[in-house]
Amino acid sequence: MQTPEELAPLGRRQYGRFDRRPIFVNPLEPYLGGTRRARRLRLKEWIGWTLMHPELSCSMILQDAHYLASSELYVRDAASGRLTQHARNLRGGSLHLPERLYPSQPSVDAKGYAIGYDFGPEGGRHTIEVDIAGTATELPVSVRLTLDGAHAGAPLSVSQPLGRKAAMYTHKAVFPAAGSVTVGDHTYTFDPARDLAILDEHKTFLPYRTRWLWGTFATVDADGIVGANFCRRPAVAGTPGESCLWLPAPYRCEGLDDVELAPESEDSLAPWRVRSADGRLDVVFTPDGRKDVKHQLVLFAIDYWQLYGTYAGIVGDRRVEGVRGVLESMKARL
C-alpha cells in the first residue's frame, strides 16, 4: 500500500505492508499521559545488521526495552569456527533510537565499546563504524563499512497487529557493502559487488509471552540482490507479516504468507527446512554454529538462540547455493 508520512498520523495507527519506510515511526503517538508512559515500557526498539560475506558470520544490534537497553556484536570466522562476542548493558531509554531513520546517527559509546550507524538520506550513502577493545577472553573488533543506498534492494516495511494491544513495525533493507571488518589482526575485505548488509529495524509492542522463529539471507547473482526474510509468530489472522522475497530485475520486495520452518531432527545443529505455501521459497538452512542466551528472572525470562550457516534452494525463480545467513528462535516473558 502507499506509505503514509507517519506511522500514526493524527494518532491513528496505520497497518499494512508499505512500499517504503514512513518518514516518522513513533508507535507511542496515539497515546497520552499515563497511558503513554505505560505503553513505553512495553515498546521494544532495535536497529541491527546482519553481514553477508563468505568468510564470516556477523551480526550487531542496538536495542532498547526502555527499562533496559543493550548492545551486542559477534563475528564468527567460517574457516576456523572462532567466535568473538562483545556486549554491553545500558540504562533503559538511553539509546534514543530515532523516529526518523533517514537521516539519523544512532550509536552507543561505553568504555571501550563503540558502535555507530550514520544513515544518510533515503537512497543515499550510509556507514557502520565499530571500535571495540579486546578483553582477557575476546579479540578487539573494528568495522568500517560504507553502504550503497542507491543500489539497495527494495525495502520491506510492515505494520502488523499482533493481538491484545500488541503490534509490530519493522523496516528491513539489503545494501551492497564496501570496507572491512577486522578481528584481532585479521581483516575481512568487503566487495560491494559480492557482499551485503541486511538492516533490521523494529519498533514493536511485544506481548508479555513472546515467541517467534525468524531468519534472513541474501546474495548477489548476475541480475542483482536475491534473498529472503521470514518469520513465524502469533499475529492477527489475515494481516500481512514480515516474510518476503527480495528479487532483482527490477528490484522488488514480494510478500510471503504461510511460511513453515521445521528442523530435520532435535539435534541443536540440525538443518532446517523453510518453505512457503506457494512454493516461491523452499530452502534448507545448514547451521555451522549456534549462539544461546538464557535468563530466568522470576517474572522475566528469555530462551533465545541464533544459528548461523548457509542456505540453499529456491528463492522465487532463482536457485541459490551456499548463501550465508541466520535463523533464530525467541521464547520470552518480557
**Per-residue confidence of the chain (334 residues) as pLDDT tens digits?**
667 899 998 888 999 999 999 999 999 999 889 999 989 988 999 999 999 999 999 999 999 999 889 999 999 999 999 999 999 999 999 999 999 999 999 999 998 999 999 999 999 999 999 999 999 999 999 999 999 999 999 999 999 999 888 999 999 999 999 999 999 999 999 999 999 999 999 999 988 888 999 999 999 999 999 999 999 999 998 899 999 999 998 999 999 989 999 999 999 999 999 999 999 999 999 999 998 887 766 667 788 999 999 999 999 999 999 999 999 999 987 6
How far apart CA 270 and CA 17 sit, in angstroms, is 33
Asked if residues 117 and 124 have their Cβ atoms less than 8 Å apart, the reply is no
Please enumerate in sequence order all residues whose Cβ is within 8 A of that of 191, keeping only pairs 6 or more positions apart, or say none: 178
Q: List Cβ<8 Å contacts ≥24 apart for 191-194.
A: 192/148, 192/151, 193/220, 194/54, 194/220
* Residues in CB range of 121: below 8 A, 6 or more apart: 102, 103, 149
Residue type, 207: P
Check if the beta carbon of residue 48 is closer than 8 Å to that of residue 200: yes
Q: How many CA atoms lie within 13 A of 230 on its CB side?
A: 28
Q: 103 preceded by cis ω (within 30°)?
A: yes
Q: Are the CB atoms for 260 and 275 separated by under 8 Å?
A: yes
- Rounded to two decimals, the pTM is 0.95
Report the first-to-last Cα separation within the chain, whole angstroms: 32
Per-residue pLDDT, 208: 81
Q: What is the pLDDT of residue 293?
A: 83
pLDDT for the residue 1: 60
Q: How far apart are CA 15 and CA 9, in angstroms?
A: 12
Q: d(Cα 184, Cα 137) in Å, to the nearest integer?
A: 12
Contacts of 329 (CB under 8 A, 6+ apart): 211, 212, 213, 303, 304, 305
Placement of cell 528472572 in the chain: 297
pLDDT of residue 207: 83
Q: Can you give the pLDDT at residue 81?
A: 94
| SS3 assignment, position 154 | coil
User: What are the structural domains, with CATH classification, of the chain?
Assistant: 16-333 (2.40.370.10)
C-alpha 143/C-alpha 312 separation (Å) is 28
CA distances from 32 to 25, 39, 65 (A): 16, 10, 19
- Asked if 54 and 78 count as a contact pair (C-beta separation under 8 A), the reply is yes
- Whole-number Å distance between alpha carbons of 237 and 202: 21
Distance CA(308)–CA(287), nearest Å, equals 5
